[in-house]
Copies of this chain bind each other. A is one copy, B any other.
Amino acid sequence: MGARYRSGKLTNEFALIGRLRERFADIGDDAAVVEPPEGPLLLAADSVVGGVHADLSKVGLDDVGWKAVVVNVSDIAAMGGRPLYLLVTVAAPAGTDLERLFDGIAEAAHAYVCPVVGGDLSRADCLVVTVAVAGTVDGTPVLRSGARPGEWIYVTGPLGAAAASGWTRRPLARVAEGVDARAAGATAMIDVSDGLAADLTHLADASGVGFALDEVPVAPGATVDQALGGGEDYELVFTTPVAGSAVGFRIGRCTDDPAERTLEGRPLPALGWEHSW
């Protein structure tokens, strides 16, 4: 956890690191020392960039911190896993309200029961909050590549809310749903960060299958296009040979034609989602 500042004096630099340590008591040595999981080690990292993923005139820095944690926890959830530890690295302009940023990070770390065990602070000309997460899974992780023709496609909740509202202040990662889906026999899974059409295409491509959707659950106030193309809902979409899964909504089926991507028999519209929060 080397402190690296150019413009600040050393005293300020260490004071800032000290604030990070005060907020996250587990931060101490050069590297954090934690118990390794008994099962597979899951690792992911992702950034939230001020002005790109977060319009700082609309959202608070606590919301930025929350989101930076949640997008990573969601990546663990999409494996059927659970998060264990967080590393938080902040590059921020002078004058950034770091306390408020840390508030949101701490709230998400608490909500998902994964302590911040390390990290770093740097001065920069723009705000970049990077979180890395270590997690594990109680059994075999659910990859994107495990779907087979004939299997059913489920989603853990209605979609399009983030697109309909323009942004979601405090998105949620579906950790419990992912664990339940894995336990119920999920063969492939991904989180809906870029939109159902895009993310299900990633899953189908990785698995070498096509998909035929019957219907998509649409969040209140959202359109079908927003449910298909809107990102940042962080629901999980998964496949399973079990037709009557108790987890989520059944939306369609995997097919043996890798080129097939249909909704109600019609080709899926090409929908892009530009993350904007």
A interface, CB within 8 angstroms of B? 1-11, 28-49, 51-53, 71, 74-76, 78-79, 81, 85, 87-89, 91, 117-120, 122-126, 128, 130, 132-136, 141, 143-145, 190-191, 193-194, 198, 206, 272-276
| Residue contact B75 to A44, C-beta cutoff 8 Å | no
State whether A120 and B46 are in contact (beta carbons under 8 Å apart), knowing that A28-B144, A29-B144, A198-B10 are contacts in the complex: yes
B125 close to A275 (CB less than 8 A)? no
Q: Which 7 residue pairs spanning A and B have beta carbons closest together?
A: A132-B132, A45-B87, A2-B193, A31-B44, A30-B78, A10-B272, A30-B75
Whether A41 contacts B45 in the complex (CB less than 8 A), given A128-B91, A191-B2, comes out as no
Which residues of B are found within 8 Å of A2, using beta-carbon distances?
46, 71, 74-75, 191, 193-194
Assembly stoichiometry (copies)? 2
Knowing A4-B52, A49-B124, A52-B6 are in contact, say whether A31-B81 is a contact too (CB < 8 A). Answer: yes
Residues of B close to A91: CB separation below 8 A: 47, 49, 91, 126, 128, 130
User: Given A5-B274, A71-B2, A130-B130, does the pair A42, B49 have CB atoms closer than 8 Å?
Assistant: no
A149 to chain B, nearest CB (A): 21
Q: Decide if A191 touches B78 in the complex (CB within 8 Å).
A: no
Bound-state Cα–Cα, A11 to B198, Å: 10
For the complex formed, measure the closest distance between the CB of A27 and the CB atoms of chain B, giving whole angstroms: 10
Bound-state CA distance A130–B87 (Å) is 11
Cα distance A75–B193 in the bound complex, in angstroms? 32
Asked if residues A41 and B34 are in contact (CB atoms below 8 Å), the reply is yes
Of A51, A75, A136, the most chain B CB neighbours within 10 A belong to A75
Interface CB pairs A-B, < 8 A, 10: A1-B44, A8-B274, A9-B274, A28-B144, A31-B44, A44-B87, A45-B89, A46-B120, A49-B124, A130-B132
CA distance A276 to B194 in the complex (A): 38
A4 to chain B, nearest CB (A): 5
